[in-house]
């Protein structure tokens, strides 16, 4: 059974909508700016990848806005695009239409604001809990479109979106759904969230006066990741059913691999990353020799980028230097649970266009990062099999494989 992607939607710091996002990704446009959504003066990291010009009032009523957190609003915006892109799903029974969404933090904006109000002895909004709950975005998407099948939310930190896409693949393969709306959403450019990551020394703090060069995966002198936000949504179906209804088909979702390090709650481990990639490729019924592009997890942390590089080298051996790699996060920062969904869209567009977007800010690579990261300028290459990596806290490692038809 072949599962295909028939619709896509995105809200990102470098563009909302697939065409603007991809045009800017290929051009290597930077989306990291000084934080505008709140005063970051008390933080050591005062930059982020924020979705610019986002106005939920263009697609939600005032009452709906009151009832939804920003992460849900971003998810709905991307889902609206993906559903319009996929075309009508009316040929499917509503109870055969599922949602599988990922979010690492859920409605944390509401959590922070409501907690602050409570500490000030003020009342909290009546929809505080429904806005905070991690499954609210999936529930709202289902409600908007009458999707009455399985409604799942995965929260595995930075691999949330990738696991959600993998869970969607499993739903379709097992016959528990005929179509699935899937992906990830996150909105945690927030004071408490960022202070928490600062306490772990995970965020970039040395580029507050030069945000354009702060997110620098694999580069010498990188000092941590840049917080980002956004949403990426895919519509998945069986290939035969998609063809029958005349749907446009972007790519095939061929494989999903998931493995836990079981070693440390925040530090990455090579074995788990190797296992996730290997399982995904095996699940796709493919060989290592067939992978010809990797959309890397590549957060721009000193340790993480080295570990991912070593994992790729350990798995692919002599072929590793030949495989083009790129880091979408170099342009948009790290959007936690949405990152792999956005990276998946980048991988799919690479399959579609034969263009590999660059890893920007890579003037000089870390000596331990010695693979082909498509530095600074896009490359042209016919890609038939793309691997997308997502490695998160808790030792959650996920890889997904997309191929041309």
Task: Give every CB contact of residue 45 below 8 A, 6+ residues apart in sequence.
Answer: 194, 197, 198, 203, 204, 205, 208, 224, 226, 227
**Torsion angle defined by CA atoms of residues 106, 154, 314 and 349, in that order, rounded to the nearest 10 degrees:** -80
Instruction: Provide φ and ψ at 329, rounded to 5°.
Output: -65, -20
Is residue 328 within 8 A of residue 343, CB to CB? The reply is: yes
CATH topology of domain 3-251: Peroxisomal Thiolase; Chain A, domain 1 (3.40.47)
DSSP, collapsed to helix, strand or coil, labels residue 373 as coil
pLDDT given for residue 108 in this prediction: 95
pLDDT at position 370: 98
- Rounded Cα distance between 223 and 205, Å, is 7
Can you give the pLDDT at residue 369? 98
Q: Would you kindly state where each structural domain of the chain is located, as residue ranges?
A: 3-251, 255-403
Could you give the residue numbers annotated as active site?
158, 297, 334
CATH class for domain 255-403? alpha beta
pLDDT values of the chain reduced to their tens digit, one per residue, 405 residues: 999 999 999 999 999 999 999 999 999 999 999 999 999 999 999 999 999 999 999 999 999 999 999 999 999 999 999 999 999 999 999 999 999 999 999 999 999 999 989 999 999 999 999 999 999 999 999 999 999 999 999 999 999 999 999 999 999 999 999 999 999 999 999 999 999 999 999 999 999 999 999 999 999 999 999 999 999 999 999 999 999 999 999 999 999 999 999 999 999 999 999 999 999 999 999 999 999 999 999 999 999 999 999 999 999 999 999 999 999 999 999 999 999 999 999 999 999 999 999 999 999 999 999 999 999 999 999 999 999 999 999 999 999 999 998
Taking the whole predicted model, whether its pTM rises above 0.95 is answered as: yes
Q: Do domains 3-251 and 255-403 have the same CATH topology?
A: yes
Rounded to an integer, what distance in angstroms lies between the CA atom of residue 238 and that of residue 393?
Answer: 32
pLDDT at residue 405, rounded to an integer: 85
- E-only strand ranges, 215-323: 229-238, 251-260, 293-295
């Amino acid at each position: 059974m072949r599962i295909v992607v028939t619709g896509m939607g995105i809200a990102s710091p470098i563009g909302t909508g697939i065409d603007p996002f991809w045009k800017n990704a290929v051009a290597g446009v930077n989306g990291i700016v000084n934080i505008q959504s709140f005063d970051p003066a008390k933080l050591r990291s005062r930059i982020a990848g924020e979705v610019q010009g986002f106005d939920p009032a263009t697609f939600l009523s005032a009452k709906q806005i009151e009832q939804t957190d920003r992460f849900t609003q971003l998810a709905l915006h991307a889902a609206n695009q993906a559903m319009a892109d996929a075309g009508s799903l009316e040929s499917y029974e509503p109870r055969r239409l599922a949602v599988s969404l990922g979010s690492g933090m859920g409605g944390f904006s509401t959590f922070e604001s409501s907690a602050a109000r409570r500490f000030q002895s003020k009342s909290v909004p009546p929809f505080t809990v429904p806005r905070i709950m991690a499954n609210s975005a999936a529930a709202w998407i289902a409600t908007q479109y009458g999707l009455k099948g399985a409604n799942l939310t995965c929260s595995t930190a930075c691999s949330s979106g990738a696991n959600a896409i993998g869970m969607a693949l499993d739903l379709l393969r097992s016959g528990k759904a005929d179509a699935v709306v899937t992906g990830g959403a996150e909105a945690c450019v927030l004071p408490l969230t960022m202070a928490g990551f600062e306490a772990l020394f995970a965020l970039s703090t040395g580029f507050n006066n030069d945000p354009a060069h702060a997110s620098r995966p694999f580069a010498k002198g990188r000092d941590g990741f840049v917080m980002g936000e956004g949403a990426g949504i895919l519509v998945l179906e069986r290939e035969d059913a998609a063809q029958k209804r005349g749907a446009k088909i972007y790519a095939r979702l061929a494989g999903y691999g998931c493995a836990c390090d079981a070693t440390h709650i925040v530090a990455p481990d090579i074995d788990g990353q190797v296992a996730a990639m290997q399982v995904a490729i095996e699940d796709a019924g493919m060989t290592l020799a067939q992978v010809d592009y990797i959309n890397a997890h590549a957060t721009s942390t000193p340790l993480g980028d080295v570990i991912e590089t070593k994992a790729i080298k350990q798995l692919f051996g002599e072929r590793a230097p030949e495989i083009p790699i790129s880091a979408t996060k170099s342009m948009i920062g790290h959007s936690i649970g949405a990152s792999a969904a956005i990276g998946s869209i980048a991988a799919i567009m690479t399959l579609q266009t034969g263009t590999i977007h660059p890893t920007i800010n890579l003037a000089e690579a870390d000596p331990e990062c010695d693979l082909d990261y498509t530095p600074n300028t896009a490359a042209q290459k016919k890609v038939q099999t793309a691997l997308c990596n997502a490695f998160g806290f808790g030792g959650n490692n996920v890889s997904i494989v997309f191929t041309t038809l």
